[in-house]
Structure 1
Amino acid sequence: MPVKRVVGRRSSTQVLALSLASALTALSACSISDPAPSAESYFNGPAQLDEVTVQRFEYPTREGEPDPEQNWADLYLPAGEEEVDSLPLAVLIHGGAWKSEIGADTFDPLARELASRGMAVYNIEYRRVGSGGGWPTTFRDVADALDHVVEIDAMYPQITVDDEVVVGHSAGAQLAVWGGTRHLLDDDEVGSRPKFRPTRVVSIAGPLDAVYAAHNGDDRIVTAIGGTPSEVPERYKMVDPVQNIAADTPVVALHGSKDTVVSPENSRRYVNAARLAGGDAKLVLVDGEDHVSIVSGDSPNYSKVIDTITSVADAELDKVVSP
């Protein structure tokens, strides 16, 4: 039987306090192209939005000053009436080989599609190789962006944060799976002591066995981590998904059968290891898709990818099938 979402209800005092916080902080947050919900809407019962709205936030970083051009996240809210604790949250982490050339805007179509299905979506940006990122900054940024969800929840009490999904593509998939297992890290390791932890993960074309990837020609991951597995094994131990399996965190690994950038063997090896560890993991090979086409709206399988994400978000992993 699938595990159904159980949402913890807030007390009336908490709702009032969070509504006040929402009204005040919504005015100070930096909006982008779409209108943000008005402060008044939070004082008069449920929020009512006429269309998908997007609000941008800068998140603080644990070490050093954040870069406002890169340390930010967009919160997408769906249209319709929004009661307290009514909107499941999906966190998106874009890919791009951990490099600066590709940013979070590539996930805007996916974020809007998920929001159109009634989800709140948190699409994060982070510093990457070539723009101040790399080891350990990229990984710290992602951890800090995830932890800022606690503050977002205080501003927008209609979202839920107790049982959520994180979705990543390519390098973002490695970061997403790692993000769901940070509670396993020692206190002195990068990204440890999470304030917010996604409890389900969708990996799309992810290098989920970083050592295998590095040993099979993936110099991108070697650059991001700052060395080969033999040179910096302790770093791989911290962030390699296959070395940080959480048996209580279900993972669905989507991978195109024609992916020559990140071999499907990465997903296969992770899923096998997770199952051996007693975890709930599933491999979905998408026939005919390559590394990029699998997340393209032009793909005939795109709706299946979206359906997979929503099924995992609803804790209905039994509905996840190969396209």
Structure 2
Amino acid sequence: MTDARTISYGDDPSQYGELSLPDGTPRGVVVVIHGGFWKAEYDLSLGRPLAASLVEQGWAAWNLEYRRVGGGGGTPATLDDVAGGIDRLAHLDLDTSTLVTLGHSAGGHLAAWAASRGRFERWASGVPVTHVISQAGVLDLRTAYDEGLGGGAVERFLGHAPGPGDVPVDPQQQLPLDVPLWCVHGRADDIVPISQSEGYVAAATDAGARAELVAVDGDHFAVIDTGSDAWKQTLAILDTLA
């Protein structure tokens, strides 16, 4: 494993990622997108243990930072950054034929969104996502708003209450997704309830998409604990891809 290399994809201090490479040829690239309800007080340090574990398993890990609410982020800046950060990979001498977005909580929202962004001119995809793993993801913004998840985080992220006009930013309104998606979610999660993943997977499969719920023991953070069974199951999903 090589040390993480910090690489900018824009001029803002939050527009960078940490690239970690395994010894030998990577199995593929995993874009790690941290959570924290899109808030500036949470950063990519949350993703570093995951990136290290992924590299041990032979993956290239791109631990992505982005502008967050309270630090110049929100819609559309945060989405601009996720798109720009992924497209930066085109210039890093990496094989992106297998490109997985792996996101926790609000990062799960961004991971799923990144796979659909090519539908919208503003974010037309330069480097396409091939698979998505959402870890306790906020995948239905309208329901998350109705349930007050994150103490009003959805409204702060969007700048307004969510509605039908938010199709370009709401994974639940973008079904069917064109690539496979797995929802890894703790049954005891009381921060983002597992109903977020259950509802998304049910609607996705009804729409003809490939989506699977992987319900695991534990709370909201078990899925990003690299010593947990939930993380072992996430690695097992990746093992089926490359």
Instruction: Tell me, in whole angstroms, the C-alpha distance in 1 between the residues paired with 2:226 and 2:99.
Output: 24
- Aligned partner of 1:147 in structure 2 is 87
Secondary structure of the corresponding residue to residue 70 of structure 1: coil
Deviation at 1:284, TM superposition (A): 0.8
- Aligned partner of 1:229 in structure 2 is 162
Deviation string, structure 1 residues 127-179 (Cα, Å, up to 9, x no partner): 10111111221111111111111112xxx2xx311232110000000000000
Secondary structure of the corresponding residue to residue 132 of structure 2: strand
Instruction: Tell me, in whole angstroms, the C-alpha distance in 2 between the residues paired with 1:75 and 1:131.
Output: 23
- Aligned partner of 1:296 in structure 2 is 225
- Please say if 1:91 is aligned against 2:34: no
Runs (4 or more) in structure 1 with deviation over 4 Å come to: none
Q: 1:253 to 1:300 in 2, by over 3 A?
A: closer
- Aligned partner of 1:74 in structure 2 is 18
- Aligned partner of 1:18 in structure 2 is none
- Aligned partner of 2:66 in structure 1 is 126
Deviation at 1:118, TM superposition (A): 0.9
What does residue range 268-307 of structure 1 map to in structure 2 within 5 Å?
Answer: 268-287=198-217, 289-307=218-236
Q: TM-score when scaled to structure 1?
A: 0.71
- Aligned partner of 1:168 in structure 2 is 103
Q: TM-score when scaled to structure 2?
A: 0.93
Instruction: Tell me, in whole angstroms, the C-alpha distance in 2 between the residues paired with 1:146 and 1:312.
Output: 22
Q: Structure 1 unaligned segments of length 5 or more: list them.
A: 1-50, 61-65, 315-323
Which amino acid letter does the alignment assign opposite residue 164 of structure 1?
L
Which amino acid letter does the alignment assign opposite residue 52 of structure 1?
T
Secondary structure of the corresponding residue to residue 223 of structure 2: helix
- Please say if 1:110 is aligned against 2:45: no
Deviation at 1:215, TM superposition (A): 1.3
Q: 1:123 to 1:162 in 2, by over 3 A?
A: same
Q: Is the 8 A contact 1:184 1:244 kept in 2?
A: no
Deviation at 1:246, TM superposition (A): 4.1
- Aligned partner of 2:169 in structure 1 is 239
Instruction: Tell me, in whole angstroms, the C-alpha distance in 1 between the residues paired with 2:234 and 2:98.
Output: 20
Instruction: Tell me, in whole angstroms, the C-alpha distance in 1 between the residues paired with 2:230 and 2:183.
Output: 15
Q: Is the 8 A contact 1:135 1:226 kept in 2?
A: yes
Q: 1:212 aligns with which of 129, 143, 164?
A: 143
Q: Is the 8 A contact 1:200 1:312 kept in 2?
A: no
Q: Is the 8 A contact 2:177 2:204 kept in 1?
A: yes
Q: Is the 8 A contact 1:171 1:206 kept in 2?
A: yes
- Please say if 1:267 is aligned against 2:197: yes
- TM-align CA RMSD: 1.6
Aligned length: 240
Which amino acid letter does the alignment assign opposite residue 56 of structure 1?
T
Bigger shift: 241-250 or 252-261? Answer: 241-250
Asked which structure has the greater CA Rg, the reply is: 1
Q: Is the 8 A contact 1:202 1:312 kept in 2?
A: no
Q: Percent identity of the aligned residues? A: 34
- Aligned partner of 2:239 in structure 1 is 311
Deviation string, structure 1 residues 300-322 (Cα, Å, up to 9, x no partner): 443223323x23543xxxxxxxx
Deviation at 1:292, TM superposition (A): 1.5
Deviation string, structure 1 residues 51-75 (Cα, Å, up to 9, x no partner): 3332111003xxxxx21x3110111
Q: Structure 2 unaligned segments of length 5 or more: list them.
A: none
Which amino acid letter does the alignment assign opposite residue 171 of structure 1?
A
Instruction: Tell me, in whole angstroms, the C-alpha distance in 1 between the residues paired with 2:22 and 2:241.
Output: 15
